[in-house]
Structure formats: structure tokens, C-alpha cells
Amino acid sequence: MFTKVAIIGVGLIGGSLARVLRDAGVAEEVIGFGRNVEHLQQAVNLGAIDRAASSLADAVKDADLVVLATPVGATKDLLADIAPMLAETTVVTDVGSTKSGVTHIARETLKDHFGYFVPGHPIAGREESGVTASSGDLFKDHVVVLTPVSETRKTAVSRVQNLWKLAGAEVSLLDPEIHDQIFAACSHVPHVLAFMLVDLLVRQDNHKAVFEFSAGGFRDFTRIASSDPVMWRDICLENSKAIAGVLRQYQSEIKKTIDAIELGDGKKLIETFERAKHARDLYIKNKT
């Protein structure tokens, strides 16, 4: 399927995808590149990659697939750097959680090669980060969203689709802007809220007691606050308009709920809680 695959950023996602390629034997060589030499050596020792590249040029040269698995804030510089190094038909994809911005950046930086860029977003992960947390089955039964545009070559989309299907994922196609609106609501804002709540509580004088007595509900709600802060900073900055829009709506609803609690408006509270419970039971609970 592939002669040489370059994984730029061999962490949880990049390392797991590398394991898929190596376990399935569909790439003659899987090369890793990143800023941390120690982490790259770990990837080699774990069998995630065949070898660590000595430079970005070494990684990308003659590759027929390049996967950008770095924080979204690094994407612009990386695309600009690799653009002159790409072979004529090298397929480039990414795994970032925002898609509109990266699509615009890729169009500007890759220029004539833009047709071979397939924006991607695997909806999979875990609290731990780094290649030591990677797994060949991380994407199994998870959704991967691809956001090709009119210029994207169908052959490039097909190759990336087949790669993710090989990983056991279900592939969906979305418009980049629609993707960002959807994930602002169902992923980005929940992460922001989890970070905010934990940060709020840890700054209270009685925070040790709060965390000591926290039960399953608190742990479930705040689990995602253990995610990589740098990654989520970049996501917030890249998808700022959509995230801010949902947060403003949430702010308005918080004000209404505060008013209901202070005024003893049980009718308003039960309507909100029942509507939320019904929606979650219908769309989420019954899927697990």
C-alpha cells in the first residue's frame, strides 16, 4: 500500500497510526520525526516506527504518505517546510481537531500540491499522551472525519480512507467549517469547561477537601481536564470563533439557571434537567 510513510510527531496518535501500519505490514518503511530524540528512540524501541529520521528532509524525502501528528499550532510552519520536499504524488494528511484553518493554510503553503492534502481528524484518544500510550487498536470502532474540498484529488482521499479503515475506524466526510462548528459544541467546549472547573476549584482555599471527597460524577465530568494543555490551547486559538460562540450561548444558559436557583423556580430547573436527560439518553447513552 505504501513504500515509505513519514509520521511527523510520534506521540499517542502518530505512534498508534504507525503501529497500525507496521502491524498490518502495508508500509515498507515507517519513519518518525520529532523534536525530542529520546521520545523517538522510545518509538523505535517499542516497535512503533522502523527508524527515527535525522531531519525533516530525511523523513519526507521519497515518502508517498506524510502524516502530520503534531499540535495544530505547529501545522503552518511544518507545511511550509515540507512543501518543497514533497514528491509529485505524495499524499499529506493531518490528525488535528480543527479543519477550516488548516485547510486555508495548506492551500497557501502547498500551492500546486494542495490537491494531495487530505485533512483528517480521528475521534479517538485517551488521557495519557506520548508514544508509550500508543496502541495499534486505538482507532478501532472509532470515527475518523476527513474534510476534503473541491480541489482534493479523489485518489488521495481514497488512500487516506483506506488507511483509516485498516485501523478499524469508520470514516465520515464533512465540510471543514461544518466540522469545526460541530466539534466546537461536542468536544472543544466540554474540554474548556472541564479545564475551567478544575482550575476554579484548585484555587479555592478548601480545594484539598473538595478533591478528596469528589466522587464518580466529578471524575467523569473532569476526566478530560487531564488532556494535553498545549494541544487544547492551540485548538482554542484555531477554532476561536466557533468555540467562543458556543461559550457565549452557554454563558447565557448559566445566567438563566442561576436565576432559577436563586428564585426557587423548580419548574424551570426540572424542564431543563428532563430535556437534557432525554436528549442524552436518546443520542448518547443508548449508543454505549
Are residues 49 and 128 both part of a single domain? yes
Are residues 37 and 141 both part of a single domain? yes
Model confidence pLDDT, tens digit, residues 127-152: 677 899 899 999 999 999 999 999 99
3-state percent breakdown (helix, strand, coil) of the chain, nearest 5: 60, 15, 25
Query: Nearest CA to 129 among 196, 273, 228, 30?
Result: 228
Are residues 148 and 212 both part of a single domain? no
Question: Consecutive 10-residue runs of the chain (288 residues): their mean pLDDT?
Answer: 95 95 94 92 94 95 96 92 96 96 96 97 84 93 97 98 96 97 97 97 96 93 91 94 97 98 98 96 79
Q: By residue range, what is the domain housing residue 160?
A: 2-174
In SS3 terms, 245-262 reads as HHHHHHHHHHHHHHHHHH
Query: Nearest CA to 110 among 150, 73, 142, 78?
Result: 78
Give φ, ψ of 16 to 5 degrees.
Answer: -70, -40
Query: The domain spanning residue 165 has which CATH number?
Result: 3.40.50.720
Are residues 236 and 210 both part of a single domain? yes
Are residues 132 and 222 both part of a single domain? no
Are residues 7 and 149 both part of a single domain? yes
201 close to 174: Cβ distance less than 8 angstroms: no
Are residues 257 and 211 both part of a single domain? yes
Query: Nearest CA to 31 among 9, 4, 11, 69?
Result: 4
Are residues 208 and 150 both part of a single domain? no
**Which of 129, 152, 174 is a domain's end point?**
174
Query: The domain spanning residue 229 has which CATH number?
Result: 1.10.3660.10
Number of domains in the chain: 2
Are residues 86 and 198 both part of a single domain? no
Are residues 190 and 279 both part of a single domain? yes
